[in-house]
Chains A and B, each alone.
Chain A
């Protein structure tokens, strides 16, 4: 019995050594991210990293997903103890990371931030690949101005107040309201809730006020708004009365744009893995540490089936 046990142990040790030596030529990557259940955006983000950092591409991937900052911090410390080569972080909160990232620096681990910035000195990380939310808002409002409508009477449906996406997407439109180039019919938060967005638009329609633009800060709320338009018999989209704008580029939304029911859908790109992988492989430190991930938008006039397949989130 004892002999058998010893044999098994020895075998396990050998296997362990084998796997260790096997892992040596791979770059060990530890990813700390928010859980895919957070949103469609996050699901695509997590899937992107899992698709790029594969063994075929020369990586050994370890992941940890949590919406809680302290759990993320523990996981990051764990990855450092495990001896990863590279640490990739999308933090739940912007604070509290100094200690852990100093430990990573001392251990010679390269740290890349993605999706979200952290409040730390620049020398603690190699690069940060992030989205620029205000630029997304500016891009959308720029597109809207390019449409050269006779008048802009905007129903503005906001996301959860204070979130990065809401602040960025609201900012550019607020400038137009302040400048008087666009008229604010209603500005109301639906806190990302599709059904609430429908109720808000219903109340505008019931009040009898005229409007010709719906600017919803995500796809779900745009869908809710459109449901209210449909029930009231108001035309919308490419050949309709009301211009419909959404954000996030879910596949269902892009299909609506392709069908001409909506006019515009702006992207907040969840695809940062390729950029980071290229940086790791090249071994170079970029001149500017903060790298803004390129954003796209799609409008009813130019969108193609291929765009939906390439850039659409979800299914």
Chain B
């Protein structure tokens, strides 16, 4: 009995990752047919004099960094609260603005200044995260409505922090965070994503965060009756998303050493939610798999890069993207999954019957 349960569970988890993996496979095959050299990686000497890796694959992995980091946090919020935070883009603009403000305030940009600036923006993002979390967990407001407030006013707040225009920052350290550390051929944002993944896995490995989040998402009342502080878990998920927001915001700023409060990580909230959905997570909360969301993020970026490589006309990109995404989400929907399982069972049944007939003969 126990064994079957375990195998069942394992099977369920695998099928959750099926959709992003299939999407990945299709995109890879499509690109290889279109251009066999699409995924080739080469080393180049950049203008700063470093030898670095380059190629579409690097562009995809590098370009999806902010999205992947936000998707990790968003998965937790989704799982615990059964809703999404639509203010991550605006919050990242605030976090990025704080980061720039602190750095510009310093007379000289040293490693210490950058760490201080990051901590400051982390604190601010966690405060805004707990504001959202408070509305959701204490006042029981629907997450999308609660975060609509910050979504609407976030970029104005970001504007107040630095005033108009697009403030720029200078400095080799912030430049290295946004592109390459001298002597390291891998883009720094990719390294930061890996660090975040390790931190999340450690948190899940050594604390009950994952289990509690899932429990609260599946049945809040049952969780409370079992002594879990549901309010705290929900609040915590938003605070953790706040940390992700600050990391993503800082990467976004460092890439170009400039902050434009209107365009920094614009519309990323929708892509983030999409990454969670493509990753096979239920947007209604409960069971979740962060690895799925991360894969989802890379699928989205690969799709965009593919469309750019195909020189799809600028006015059509979003339409094509929408078509592919509709397909992915429909294929991943429970209805289609059930239908697919039924068809598979029928085929298997038919073949068994045929086999049976054969044996009978």
In the complex, A161 Cα to B317 Cα: how many Å?
A: 12
Cβ of B55 < 8 Å from any Cβ of A?
yes
Cβ–Cβ < 8 Å partners of B167 in chain A: 314-315
Cβ–Cβ < 8 Å partners of A203 in chain B: 56, 59, 305, 308-309
In the complex, A250 Cα to B260 Cα: how many Å?
A: 12
User: B35, B44, B164: which contacts A36 (Cβ < 8 A)?
Assistant: B164
Binary interface profile of A, 179-214, with partner B (CB < 8 Å = 1, else 0)?
000000011110111110011101101111000000
In the bound complex, do residue A193 and residue B263 qualify as a contact, i.e. CB atoms below 8 Å apart? yes
A260 to chain B, nearest CB (A): 13
Cβ–Cβ < 8 Å partners of A231 in chain B: 46-47, 52, 54, 179-180
User: A38, A188, A227: which contacts B308 (Cβ < 8 A)?
Assistant: A188
Chain B positions 54-99 with a Cβ under 8 Å from a chain A Cβ = 54-56, 59, 63
Secondary structure class of chain A's binding surface, majority of residues: helix
Cβ–Cβ < 8 Å partners of A187 in chain B: 313-314
Cβ of A266 < 8 Å from any Cβ of B?
no
Cβ of B159 < 8 Å from any Cβ of A?
yes
Q: How large is the interface on B (under 10, 10 to 19, 20 to 34, 35 or more residues)?
A: 35 or more
In the complex, A90 Cα to B147 Cα: how many Å?
A: 32
Chain A positions 196-243 with a Cβ under 8 Å from a chain B Cβ = 198-200, 202-203, 205-208, 219-220, 223-224, 227, 229-235
Cβ–Cβ < 8 Å partners of B102 in chain A: none
Closest to A256 in B: B168
Q: At the interface with chain A, which of B133-141, B222-230, B250-258, B320-328?
A: B250-258
In the complex, A193 Cα to B256 Cα: how many Å?
A: 11
Cβ of A39 < 8 Å from any Cβ of B?
yes
In the complex, A250 Cα to B54 Cα: how many Å?
A: 30
User: B47, B63, B164: which contacts A199 (Cβ < 8 A)?
Assistant: B63
Cβ of A158 < 8 Å from any Cβ of B?
yes
Cβ–Cβ < 8 Å partners of A223 in chain B: 256, 258
In the bound complex, do residue A229 and residue B47 qualify as a contact, i.e. CB atoms below 8 Å apart? yes
User: B63, B258, B305, B314: which contacts A220 (Cβ < 8 A)?
Assistant: B258
In the complex, A39 Cα to B261 Cα: how many Å?
A: 9
In the complex, A40 Cα to B261 Cα: how many Å?
A: 10
Cβ of A95 < 8 Å from any Cβ of B?
no
Q: How many residues of A contact B (CB 8 A)?
A: 47
In the complex, A38 Cα to B167 Cα: how many Å?
A: 14
Closest to A187 in B: B314
Cβ–Cβ < 8 Å partners of B261 in chain A: 37
In the bound complex, do residue A206 and residue B56 qualify as a contact, i.e. CB atoms below 8 Å apart? yes
Cβ–Cβ < 8 Å partners of B308 in chain A: 188, 199-200, 203
Cβ–Cβ < 8 Å partners of B196 in chain A: none
Binary interface profile of B, 202-214, with partner A (CB < 8 Å = 1, else 0)?
0000000000000
User: B37, B163, B164: which contacts A42 (Cβ < 8 A)?
Assistant: B164
In the complex, A43 Cα to B308 Cα: how many Å?
A: 33
In the bound complex, do residue B63 and residue A192 qualify as a contact, i.e. CB atoms below 8 Å apart? no
Chain A positions 149-188 with a Cβ under 8 Å from a chain B Cβ = 158, 161, 186-188
Q: Could you list some 11 contacts between A and B, CB below 8 A? A: A36-B164, A199-B304, A199-B305, A206-B59, A206-B309, A229-B47, A231-B180, A232-B54, A251-B165, A252-B166, A313-B165
Other contacts beyond A195-B256, A198-B255, A199-B304: 5, CB < 8 A: A44-B165, A199-B305, A205-B54, A252-B166, A252-B258
B-binding residues in A (CB < 8 A):
36-40, 42-44, 47, 158, 161, 186-189, 191-195, 198-200, 202-203, 205-208, 219-220, 223-224, 227, 229-235, 250-252, 313-315
Top-10 shortest CB links A-B: A314-B165, A43-B164, A40-B165, A189-B314, A37-B159, A203-B308, A230-B47, A252-B168, A193-B263, A206-B56
A-binding residues in B (CB < 8 A):
35, 37, 44-48, 52, 54-56, 59, 63, 155-156, 159, 163-168, 179-180, 252, 255-256, 258, 260-266, 304-305, 308-309, 311, 313-315, 317
